[in-house]
Amino acid sequence: MKINSMKSSRFLLFSILSLSGLPAQPIPNAQTIHETGQQYREGNPLTGAADNLAIGSQAMFEANLKAKKNIVDMKPNTFLSLWNNPGFAVQFEKFLSAPAETSEDAKLYRQRIDRIMELLAPGNATKEHQDEAFDLLPLASQFESDANNCTTIHDAVYAAANARVEVQKLTELDRDLENQLKSAEYNYVHSAESLTLSREAVSKTEESNNDKNQNELLHATIDPAKDQVAALKATIQRNQQQIASTSLQAKLALQSLILQLFVQRRYQHVIIIDRFYRALFDDGDQSLQEFEQMADRLGYNKAAGQVKIIADANPKGAVASGSQNGGPNNGVGASAGAGTGGAGASVGNGYYNNNVGGDASALSGSGLNLGIENLSVESLENAFSTGMKGASRTFKSLSQLDAFANEIIRDVNEGVKVYQFLLEKSELESASSQLAAVFTKGEYLPSVRLLSVDEKRKTLAYAQLCNRLVNAANSGNIDALAEVTTQMKAMNPSFDDAEIRAKLESVKTASSLYVAQAKVAAARGDLPSVQTQITRAASLWPNNPELQDFSQHMTQLSDKASPQVQAVNDFTQLYGQKNFRQIWDDKEKYIAAISQSPDNQGKLKDVLSRMQDIETSIMRSQEIARRGDYAGAWEGLEVAFNKYPDDLKLTQLRAEYTTQSPDFVHDLRAAQSYEEKKEYGSALAWYLRSQKRYPMSDLAKEGIQRVVKLITSDAS
């Protein structure tokens, strides 16, 4: 392990030298590098994806730069904060894309709703108007935008009216029963008073028998009347209980519907049904206390389907009575409520009108099946349930509800006007916030529905940008976030992007710092730390250019671990630098490596041919020089130099021989210089002079021939 560590250190030291811009030095031991590369690839314990993920998460906490979360959480303005709620964002975007409800159908629907409200307005709700409004409800419900709410109101009012009729019948029945009860009680008393029994006692035994007979006669005479009284009382009590429960059921059904519509923000419908309620139940009781109790029991119903509030107040089996003749205050009433399909079972004990005997009754509140049906999204169900509970606690009477609904309608209408004004003034952020608030409060109100697409289009574009901003922040794509922020700022100059910009810069800086730490770790030869820091940097800013550069360097270094790949890379680099001498010096290595690289085989062949030529010239010149013929040696190199002027060894040796035969070289260069200047007479003189100095000179000979030809040419 220690040896491996040392090798690793050496490898990383080399990598850092490369990264720091220093020229790559030849690797002394290719096998060692190869081994190190293998270790880097296989032996690192932190190469698993899970480890990387853990490191990335840890980085977010360690750096305290949870930028993604921070950006999402921050509230640069109201509008943006609204978009943090995906459910709202989707609904609001749908609203902004929808055309204005200006069709004839929509207009007719609004007229009918207005007519209903007018008919039920306080002071105008006569019996005839109520009937007319009631008849208009199914007609208003024909329109899609009503979502059948008017039909629901119609059915609920109809059911409540029926309950009232039933209550009236029971009340009349009770009145008849009470009359009968009075007659029975009178008969019972009269029988008791008119009964006279003789007492003829002959003996003690006869006296005893006589008493028995008297008792039998007493019971035979009085008991029928007494039983009749008891039966009538029980019947009256049951009727009274039924009246109470029927009335309660009807009230609760309407109240729950009112609150349901309120939570749904159907404020016009709230006012309509509230006015029906007042017309139906004119006893002055508008308390919502019973409903509050029900709302507290509101549970979740996860059945899929339409959203609907279940408000079944039919207490099936909830009323029961018990009878015991044990005397006053000993009545035990047992009752049990079990609504079919509904929750609730209770036992109620209590005393009820037990003036005589031990009769007791209990009225169970159970059997009230209140819940939400047909809601497929649990979160929405919870929200609705919470809304119902909140509304029941907020409003203590229907009057409050009615007033609040009217206030909201007014507020929404005013908000729409404010939105249009702000839009006209190009204050987009404020306008969008205003529209979002208006939409939240009164999505279904006519003033909101009548906003045209043109009026909503700018807000739509701004909303989409906000949506993209949130998504970009969630995705953690710093570059995308910066781009969207720029677009938002361009569209809405008042958009406060300072915080986002600051966080973006912080994240970028942090990512760069991690890259720097990775480099430092690499310098120390600490491979796990390198990977840790790089993973941290990537988790913060995946597109960090420094990260990509570092990765490329690491990849190259990793490749260098293979001698063959390294040799090919070296060859490519040396060939690009025209350092053919270096290739020649290590030709054995490159020949072996390039054999597996067809692309470079042609280049290597050219290099070897070239260097062979140069080396031959050098060897020949050196041989000539050994004989003392430095001019000849120089000339041999000069020919090769003209062909390969960039070979260092050739250049150096040529310079050395130049100093050994300076006159010849001088004369020849002078000749060449004059030849280049087309002063052929002088050039010929210098060529002749150099040839005279070194008669074996090929260069001089060729120069003479060349210049003579030019001079004697007819064309010249």
Partner 1 sequence: MSRQKKSKGLPPWLITLLFLIVAGAAYFSLHQNFGDSSMRTVEALDPDLYYNEANSLRGNTYKIHVQIDSSLGDSPTRGRLFSVLLDSSDPARGAEILPILVPPELGSLTIQKGQNYLMKVQVVENGLLKVREAVKP
Tell me which of 226, 689, 701, 706 binds partner 1, using CB under 8 A. 689
Tell me which of 316, 682, 698, 706 binds partner 1, using CB under 8 A. 682
Tell me which of 92, 641, 680, 694 binds partner 1, using CB under 8 A. 680
CA 507 from centroid of its chain's CA atoms:
21
Output the CA–CA distances (angstroms, integers) from residue 450 to 25, 240, 329, in the order listed. 77, 51, 66
Q: Does 711 bind partner 1 (CB under 8 A)?
A: yes
Bridge partners, 370 (sequence order): 311
Residue 313 backbone dihedrals phi, psi, to 5 degrees: -100, 20
Contacting residues for 313 by C-beta, under 8 A, at least 6 apart: 248, 249, 250, 252, 253, 294, 367, 368
- Cβ at position 714, least distance to partner 1 in Å: 5
Q: Does 161 bind partner 1 (CB under 8 A)?
A: no
The candidate with the shortest Cα–Cα distance to 460, out of 437, 489, 431, 438, is 431
Residue 322 backbone dihedrals phi, psi, to 5 degrees: -125, 155
Q: Does 678 bind partner 1 (CB under 8 A)?
A: yes
Contacting residues for 536 by C-beta, under 8 A, at least 6 apart: 55, 56, 58, 59, 62, 63, 511, 514
Q: Does 694 bind partner 1 (CB under 8 A)?
A: no
Q: Does 395 bind partner 1 (CB under 8 A)?
A: no
Tell me which of 462, 541, 580, 674 binds partner 1, using CB under 8 A. 674
Tell me which of 114, 681, 696, 702 binds partner 1, using CB under 8 A. 681
Interface with partner 1 by CB under 8 A: which range of 176-184, 372-380, 654-662, 701-709?
701-709
Tell me which of 51, 443, 613, 679 binds partner 1, using CB under 8 A. 679
What does the per-residue mask of binding to partner 1 show for 421-440, with x meaning CB under 8 A?
Answer: --------------------
Residue 209 backbone dihedrals phi, psi, to 5 degrees: -65, -35
User: By C-beta, is 599 or 676 nearer to partner 1?
Assistant: 676
Give the tokens for residue 661.
């035969």
Output the CA–CA distances (angstroms, integers) from residue 257 to 266, 277, 310, 654, in the order listed. 11, 11, 9, 109
Interface with partner 1 by CB under 8 A: which range of 188-196, 349-357, 366-374, 685-693?
685-693
User: By C-beta, is 462 or 674 nearer to partner 1?
Assistant: 674
What does the per-residue mask of binding to partner 1 show for 630-669, with x meaning CB under 8 A?
Answer: ----------------------------------------
User: By C-beta, is 1 or 715 nearer to partner 1?
Assistant: 715
> How far, in Å, CA of 518 to CA of 495, rounded?
37
> How far, in Å, CA of 428 to CA of 434, rounded?
10
- Cβ at position 610, least distance to partner 1 in Å: 36
Tell me which of 496, 685, 698, 706 binds partner 1, using CB under 8 A. 685
- Cβ at position 691, least distance to partner 1 in Å: 8
User: By C-beta, is 550 or 680 nearer to partner 1?
Assistant: 680
- Cβ at position 692, least distance to partner 1 in Å: 5
Start-end of H helices in 321-377: none
3-state secondary structure of 497: coil
3-state secondary structure of 143: coil
Interface with partner 1 by CB under 8 A: which range of 74-82, 395-403, 645-653, 679-687?
679-687
- Cβ at position 697, least distance to partner 1 in Å: 13
Under DSSP, the state recorded for 316 is T
> How far, in Å, CA of 696 to CA of 686, rounded?
15
The candidate with the shortest Cα–Cα distance to 310, out of 341, 283, 351, 274, is 341
DSSP result, 669-701: HHHHHHHHTT-HHHHHHHHHHHHHH-TT-HHHH
Q: Does 698 bind partner 1 (CB under 8 A)?
A: no
User: By C-beta, is 355 or 713 nearer to partner 1?
Assistant: 713
User: By C-beta, is 49 or 715 nearer to partner 1?
Assistant: 715
Interface with partner 1 by CB under 8 A: which range of 131-139, 430-438, 451-459, 702-710?
702-710
Question: CB of 96 within 8 A of CB of 459?
Answer: yes
User: By C-beta, is 578 or 692 nearer to partner 1?
Assistant: 692
User: By C-beta, is 388 or 671 nearer to partner 1?
Assistant: 671
User: By C-beta, is 428 or 671 nearer to partner 1?
Assistant: 671
- Cβ at position 708, least distance to partner 1 in Å: 4
Q: Does 676 bind partner 1 (CB under 8 A)?
A: no
Burial of 185 (0-12, 13-18, 19+ CB in 10 A): middle
Interface with partner 1 by CB under 8 A: which range of 268-276, 414-422, 467-475, 675-683?
675-683
Interface with partner 1 by CB under 8 A: which range of 76-84, 380-388, 442-450, 671-679?
671-679
What does the per-residue mask of binding to partner 1 show for 435-474, with x meaning CB under 8 A?
Answer: ----------------------------------------
Give the tokens for residue 500.
């986002």
Contacting residues for 445 by C-beta, under 8 A, at least 6 apart: 267, 268, 409, 412, 413
Contacting residues for 291 by C-beta, under 8 A, at least 6 apart: 252, 255, 256, 259, 392
Tell me which of 686, 694, 697, 703 binds partner 1, using CB under 8 A. 686
- Cβ at position 694, least distance to partner 1 in Å: 13
Tell me which of 195, 380, 696, 708 binds partner 1, using CB under 8 A. 708
Give the tokens for residue 615.
């080396």
Interface with partner 1 by CB under 8 A: which range of 157-165, 197-205, 307-315, 708-716?
708-716
Give the tokens for residue 631.
């001019």
> How far, in Å, CA of 671 to CA of 685, rounded?
8
> How far, in Å, CA of 225 to CA of 229, rounded?
6
Give the interface size with partner 1 as a residue count (CB under 8 A): 21
- Cβ at position 710, least distance to partner 1 in Å: 9
Bridge partners, 369 (sequence order): 312
> How far, in Å, CA of 279 to CA of 125, rounded?
8
Tell me which of 250, 684, 699, 700 binds partner 1, using CB under 8 A. 684
> How far, in Å, CA of 434 to CA of 77, rounded?
12
Contacting residues for 290 by C-beta, under 8 A, at least 6 apart: 248, 251, 252, 255
Element (H, E) at 369: strand 369-373
Q: Does 713 bind partner 1 (CB under 8 A)?
A: yes
Interface with partner 1 by CB under 8 A: which range of 256-264, 408-416, 423-431, 704-712?
704-712
- Cβ at position 573, least distance to partner 1 in Å: 48
- Cβ at position 670, least distance to partner 1 in Å: 8
The candidate with the shortest Cα–Cα distance to 246, out of 323, 175, 169, 177, is 169
Q: Does 324 bind partner 1 (CB under 8 A)?
A: no
CA 402 from centroid of its chain's CA atoms:
37
User: By C-beta, is 329 or 716 nearer to partner 1?
Assistant: 716
- Summarize as ranges the residues that interact with partner 1 (CB under 8 A): 674, 678-686, 688-689, 692, 704, 708-709, 711-714, 716
